Structure 1
Amino acid sequence: MAIDLQQISKRFRFYTNLQELEMQDLKSITGSDEETLDCLLNGCNMPMDELVAIIKHFHDLNPQWLIYGEGSMFKPMDENGNCQEGQKGHLKKDKAAYLKQMQNMLIELDAAEVAKGHKPDVEALKAKLDEYKATH
């Protein structure tokens, strides 16, 4: 299966927006420079070893989903049922605006995945967003 850097970029932007990670956070987490992170966020050509070196710092991110669009965005919970490292329990942003932004990104991501012939797990993500809206 070929790797599509544009798709990886869209999925990584979706993940970082969901986690509310800004460029400064990404630089701090990965130790990478802004130029390299910009390249990843914008779908520029980059060596696979650089991509792997960056994504290994996100312990809850499923690399299979990021690279191929397969499976869930997050790795499963651990055997104790605890959230993986890096997942945040609160929003720093206005909830309504944040949820609207995430819904728009889901639509964009879903359209990109469908255009590539992938069967994304976007419906499950939409259900989680709806569940979150209902409880908060």
Structure 2
Amino acid sequence: MAIDLQQIGKRFRFYTNLRELEMEDLTSITGSDAETLNNIIHGRNIVLDELVSIVKHFDDLNPQWLIYGEGSMFKPMDADGQCHEPNKKDCLKKDKAAYLQQMKNMLIELDAAEVAKGHKPDIDALMAKLDQLRAAQQ
């Protein structure tokens, strides 16, 4: 299976936006420089070793999804039923309506890229969840 660098960048950008991580947060979490992280986010000049060393800093991110677009974005729950990421829906740093619209736009972009590749993993479920959250906001 071929690795699509631009797809990896789009998925990583989607994940970091969902987690509300800015470049400063990413450099702090990963210890990588902004240029390397920008290259990953924009799908250019990605060295697999650098990508692996960065991804290991995100316990909840499923590397199979990031690299191949397969499976769920997040790793499954632990054996004891604990999620890797606590529920943050009530503590968004951004305006919720604008944030939900931004995420929906990114999902549409990811969906178009996945359709072009020939498969649609969890995009429909994520879009439905965003619609649900938006309806609850109104």
- TM-score, normalization by structure 2: 0.91
Aligned residue pairs total 136
User: Superposition RMSD on alpha carbons, in Å?
Assistant: 1.6
1:81 aligns with 2:81: yes
CA offset at residue 135 of structure 1? 4.3
Task: Provide the residue aligned with 1:53 in structure 2.
Answer: 53
Please give the alpha-carbon distance, in whole angstroms, between the structure 2 residues aligned to 1:96 and 1:29: 27
CA offset at residue 5 of structure 1? 0.3
The gaps in structure 1 that reach 5 residues or longer are none
The gaps in structure 2 that reach 5 residues or longer are none
C-alpha contact 1:19 1:87 (8 A) present in aligned 2 = no
1:76 is aligned with what amino acid? P
Distance 1:35 1:92, change over 3 A: same
Determine helix, strand or coil for the equivalent of 2:99: helix
- TM-score, normalization by structure 1: 0.92
2:19 is aligned with what amino acid? Q
Please give the alpha-carbon distance, in whole angstroms, between the structure 2 residues aligned to 1:57 and 1:86: 16
1:109 aligns with 2:110: yes
C-alpha contact 1:62 1:72 (8 A) present in aligned 2 = yes
CA offset at residue 129 of structure 1? 1.6
Distance 1:124 1:67, change over 3 A: same
CA offset at residue 47 of structure 1? 1.5
1:105-133 deviations in whole A, cap 9, x for unaligned?
00000001111112221011112223333
C-alpha contact 1:11 1:109 (8 A) present in aligned 2 = yes
2:51 is aligned with what amino acid? L
Provide the identity percentage.
74
1:78-101 deviations in whole A, cap 9, x for unaligned?
233322147634210000000000
1:119 aligns with 2:103: no
Determine helix, strand or coil for the equivalent of 1:6: helix
Task: Provide the residue aligned with 1:69 in structure 2.
Answer: 69
Please give the alpha-carbon distance, in whole angstroms, between the structure 2 residues aligned to 1:3 and 1:70: 12
